Amino acid sequence: MDGRGLNGSRALPRLARKRSGAKSGLCLPVLCTAVLMAGCSLMPDYQRPPSPAAAQYPTATQPAPRHADWRTLFNDPALRQLIETALVNNRDLRVAALNVQAFQAQYRIQRADLVPAVAANANELRQRMPSSVTGGPAQITSAYTVNLGISAYELDLFGRVRSLSEQALQSWLATEQARRSAELSLVANVANAYLTWRADQQLLELSRDTLAADEQSLHLTTRNREAGRSSALEQAQARTSVDSSRVNLARYQRLVAQDLNSLTLLVGAPLPAQLPALPLASELVSPLPAGLPSDLLQRRPDILQAEYQLKAANANIGAARAAFFPNVSLTANAGTASRDLSGLFSAGSSAWTFQPQISLPIFNAGSLRASLDYARLQKDVAIAEYEKSIQTAFQEVADGLAARSTYEQQLQAQRNLVQATQDYYNLAQNRYRNGVDSSLTFLDAQRSLFSSQQALISDRLAQLVAEVNLYTALGGGWHYVQLGTASRRLSD
């Protein structure tokens, strides 16, 4: 039984006893019975559905000893600076935070229905009655009233109002998790956009260096062609390499500009002219321990959001069940009334009104039954969405662990390939300049070197992005406290 409903209901008998002992004695048992019945709830007991995911990841992992924050996850000071700016200025995150405040306000509105609303009213009534009505001369009468009371307060006998309040609370908590999910996605998106920008910058520099080397080769081949030491085919192939390098240069210039625009939109403010960035080959992202599958139920905001939505659907069933039972509402007020303003607060001017009302549904063409069926179906949908969120989280973490275990091997193999193609390029260049081989071998070595260097940058970017995605899949690294304490903060 709720203490607020008890206090609100007892105020009415006190007013009645002051006005009329007989009538208040009759009303008191009725009110006491209603108060004792208040607090009953038809809302089903919530049971968390069992997890549909496996008990462990396909790739073996160690338990996480701590939750890594993104500030400790990212070692690049430029990236940390951009994330800090984005968390303050990003408009999508700002909208998500405002939605949380809006749902919080809706919960406070719904919770206010648990207690009676007390209002004070002062009225003046002046009325002229014509002689045709009074049977004599026309009369002008005046009446003044001052009342304090409640209007149409619903006694929550079967928990309908309480269920709606619980539904509003769980919806608010789900929105808070949606905001946290948006914050987590923003951190990951800024990191991925920044890393992509840095990788495209390196590819742009590589394209410039390759174009310079190709132009030098074309110049050398042209001189040999004029001296009769090379063919027209070799000169055409050298010119083809130059044109291909110019295409790559223009493409990466465009990508770098677009990456900068995307990063600026995510950050929500212009980027600083100077960023203290680390090289892409350095350890920009620290390794993140994966933890256990059960940790996802407490850390992933999308899973928590789905569970809060499931609890809200469960509360709606209680409200739909309560609609089958009588609805009892009370209207009562006490004050003074007088024909003269001067006698408004004089002795004998007191007045009171007590008006209980009971509404019992008899025939509604199956509307209440359909509402209950709909509420139950919505809960079944929420259960399916909750289970799907767990399966999705499990798959994303498993993919991240698989990527972590293979990218290091792939990168090492790619580094070895770059070194081998560099040696091949150096040998081919010396042999071509000494006239041992034709320019065809040299141009082939040059293309192979550019391709292997380009692939190394792309693989390094893919490895960093995979670490960021694993961080997102694990639900971030904030020391998270369940929002069940949020409702207590409202009453502070």
pTM for the model: 0.78
87, with CB counted inside 10 A (0-12, 13-18, 19+), is middle
Rounded distance, CA 368 to CA 318, Å?
12
Residue 490 structure tokens = 């409202």
Question: Can you give the pLDDT at residue 55?
Answer: 67
In the chain, pLDDT over 90 holds for what percent of residues? 40
| Residue 370 pLDDT | 94
Average per-residue pLDDT for the chain: 82
Within 268-327, residue ranges assigned H as helices are 296-299, 301-322
Structure tokens that stand for 455 in this block: 């692939």
Region of poorest pLDDT, from 37-51, 60-74, 457-471: 60-74
Distances (CA, A) of 285 to 32, 48, 278: 65, 36, 11
Nearest to 279 by CA among 76, 70, 71: 76
Ranges of each domain in the chain: 54-116+159-326+369-490
Mean pLDDT, residues 268-291 taken together:
82
Query: Each residue of 1-49: pLDDT tens digit?
Result: 343 333 333 333 333 333 334 334 434 444 444 444 455 778 888 888 8
Residue 294: DSSP 8-state: G
DSSP element (H, E) containing 337: strand 327-338
> 49: which residues sit within 8 A by CB, 6+ positions away?
310, 383, 386, 387
327-354 pLDDT tens trace: 888 888 888 888 887 777 888 788 888 8
Task: Supply the angle between the helices 21-37 and 3-19 in degrees, to the nearest 10.
Answer: 170
CATH of 54-116+159-326+369-490, one of 1.10.1740.10, 3.90.870.10, 3.40.50.300, 1.20.1600.10: 1.20.1600.10
